[in-house]
Amino acid sequence: MGSRSSSQSERYEDRINRAIACVDANIGSAPSLKVLAGVACIAPHHFHRIFHALVGETVHGFTTRLRLERALSLARRAPQPSWKRIASECGYRSAAVFSRAFRRHFGTNPVAFDQGAFWAVRPDASETMQVSRYFLREAPAVPDDFAVEIVHRPEKQLAVSRAIGGYVRPEVLIEAYEKLARWAAAEGLPLGDGRLAGASRDDPEVTPLARCRYEFRLEIPAGVKPPDGIGVMTRPAGNWARHHVRGDMKAVDQAWNVMFKSWLPAAGLQLRNDAAEELYRRVPRRVETAKRFDLWCCVPVE
């Protein structure tokens, strides 16, 4: 009975993950509960209960939080943010409606938002600061040898293993990686040479750590169907800004800090609606104990 219940839970998890992917991909149109239930192939009157049970938030609460957090992340990465444009990009057709929703969520209107004040009342502030010493730091100078290239990546089908709350519960991150790695090994699918990527769906400077989502993405041949518990998505063709990092976690952390806080605003490029990726040139033997990394920091741009 336990095995059957676990299998059923994984099937529901796959369906709910399809709905979450739909929200991520259509953040500017705010898909309705009926649309999301259709994507998940679950009757609308059951969908909201199953969604809440697996995600821990209501459908409305989750979609609203994602839209507002994306709005704030977009604003923080723009030298002179246009809140009207950002509101529209995040699915709000009225600046007044956006402003009211922003105030309910963050406690102030968009123009008056202060990151320091937000952190002063953030329940997990101390935990978050332990994740990275670069949070809340001023934008660093771009080093002279900080090389970034713009590359075009073709459309790819991806197998996706997701974890929620990996910053505070590393075991769920390890489990997500090992689930994908075991299946890939059984299917003879290689992980190295840039086929495997790690993608953070949320900005931990804005999103509570327990809500932050992380995905391990593996490029797979078209038509390959992963088992329950591993989703499938398409990474659309597009341009990416790419910086090579070889070193420890501190070096990776610093590279992301420079990319987002300094290089990207100076380059004048806009972010596309996809998650940034850590693209592994070499895959660590054990992801939980890795001390050295050889990867690209990749940011989707247009």
**Cα(12)–Cα(10) distance, rounded to whole angstroms?**
5
| Residue 277, pLDDT above cutoff 90 | yes
41 — alpha (psi -120 to 50), left (phi > 0) or beta?
A: left
Give the pLDDT confidence score for residue 145 in this predicted structure: 93
Angle at Cα 39 formed by Cα 38 and Cα 41, nearest 5°?
Answer: 60
What's the mean pLDDT in 64-91? Answer: 88
pLDDT tens digit sequence for 200-229? 888 888 899 999 999 999 999 988 999 888
The answer to whether the beta carbons of residues 245 and 296 sit under 8 Å apart is: yes
Q: Residue 68's pLDDT band (boundaries 50, 70, 90)?
A: very high
Give the pLDDT confidence score for residue 3 in this predicted structure: 46
| Residue 66 burial by Cβ neighbours in a 10 Å radius (0-12, 13-18, 19+) | buried
What pTM, to 2 d.p., does this model score? 0.84
All domains in the chain, ordered by first residue: 1-110 (1.10.10.60), 149-301 (3.20.80.10)
pLDDT tens digit sequence for 140-153? 899 999 999 999 99
**Cα(299)–Cα(234) distance, rounded to whole angstroms?**
17
Give the pLDDT confidence score for residue 294 in this predicted structure: 93
Cα-Cα-Cα-Cα dihedral sign, residues 195, 201, 206, 211: negative
| Residue 98, pLDDT above cutoff 80 | yes
Give the pLDDT confidence score for residue 125 in this predicted structure: 87
130: which 2 tokens? 């332990």
Residue scoring higher pLDDT (19 or 13):
19
**Cα(219)–Cα(25) distance, rounded to whole angstroms?**
18
**Cα(124)–Cα(228) distance, rounded to whole angstroms?**
33
| Residue 285, pLDDT above cutoff 80 | no
Residue scoring higher pLDDT (285 or 302):
302
Q: Which residues have CB under 8 Å from 228's CB, separation 6+? A: 7, 10, 11, 13, 14
| Residue 5, pLDDT above cutoff 80 | no
Percent of the chain with pLDDT over 70: 94
Helix (H, G, I), strand (E, B) or coil at 127: helix
- Among 296, 264, 269, 291, CA closest to 280: 296
